[in-house]
């Protein structure tokens, strides 16, 4: 009588080995996800949104000292939007490009801008500025001047404490690198900027 011999079933890994393989797979998966997340965060920060800290009071009450905001670096760089009157922009200070300033665009290329006793006139029309409370206005004047091509006239919202285009004139388009879009700190001021 032939006796048949069956091979023993393959040995299943010991519970410790199964746990070790599972932990290794989990660690590799977690590391891959973390790496992907870091790469995406770097891309977003370098090319699209950048967190910045506001220093000073020149944009009060819209922005306050030590507030944290995101600026969109993508929107102007790739022509997705044009710089518009009323935009809050971040730019290299024309007199010292190691410094960045944040101001509101008031005059566009070709506009004639004048300030009479604190009231801004653009092309002969008084500009409505609901973002400048009465207590932050000043009473300075500036004779009419025409904004050059590819330049912008910018002012801080806190007119009595802002170093802006009234003093050093306009900002070249190439110096503007972002639009302020969102306050993320402190939490009680979190929200979109206008």
Reported as a single tens digit per residue, the pLDDT across 82-133 is 999 999 999 999 999 999 999 999 999 999 999 999 999 999 999 999 999 9
Residue 103 annotated in active site: yes
- Which ranges constitute the DSSP H helices of 44-155? 74-77
Distances (CA, A) of 77 to 40, 103, 147, 153, 173: 19, 18, 21, 19, 10
Tokens found for residue 190: 């979190």
Query: Is 83 within a domain?
Result: yes
pLDDT at 24: 80
Residue 160 annotated in active site: no
Residues 6+ away with beta carbon under 8 Å from 100:
52, 90, 91, 92, 93
Query: Is 128 within a domain?
Result: yes
Query: Going edge to edge, which strands form the sheet with 112-116?
Result: 125-126, 119-122, 112-116, 142-146
Catalytic residue among 103, 162, 165, 179: 103
Query: Is 126 within a domain?
Result: yes
Query: Is 139 within a domain?
Result: yes
User: Which residues form the domain of 71?
Assistant: 52-192
Query: Is 161 within a domain?
Result: yes
Query: Is 21 within a domain?
Result: no
Low-confidence ranges of the chain (pLDDT < 50): none
Half-sphere exposure of 51 (CA within 13 A, CB side): 7
CATH number at residue 102: 2.10.109.10
Domain total in the chain: 1
Query: Is 20 within a domain?
Result: no
pTM for the model stands at: 0.77
Catalytic residue among 12, 22, 29, 58: 58
Query: Is 184 within a domain?
Result: yes
């Amino acid at each position: 009588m032939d006796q048949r011999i069956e091979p023993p079933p393959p040995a299943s890994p010991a519970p410790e080995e199964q746990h070790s393989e599972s932990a290794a797979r989990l660690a590799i998966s977690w590391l891959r996800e973390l790496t992907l997340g870091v790469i995406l965060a770097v891309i977003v920060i370098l090319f699209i949104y950048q967190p910045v800290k506001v220093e000073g009071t020149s944009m009060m009450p819209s922005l306050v000292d030590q507030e944290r905001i995101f600026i969109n670096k993508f929107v102007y760089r790739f022509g997705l939007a044009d710089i518009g009157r009323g935009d809050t922009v971040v730019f290299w200070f024309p007199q010292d490009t190691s410094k960045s300033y944040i101001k509101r665009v008031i005059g566009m290329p070709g506009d004639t801008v004048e300030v009479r006793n604190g009231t801004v006139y653009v092309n002969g029309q008084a500009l409505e500025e609901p973002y400048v409370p009465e207590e932050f206005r000043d009473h300075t004047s500036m004779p009419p001047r025409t904004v050059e091509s590819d330049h912008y006239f910018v002012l801080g919202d806190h007119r009595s404490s802002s170093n802006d285009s009234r003093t050093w004139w306009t900002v070249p388009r190439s110096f503007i690198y972002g639009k302020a879009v969102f306050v993320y700190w402190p939490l009680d001021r979190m929200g979109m900027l206008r």
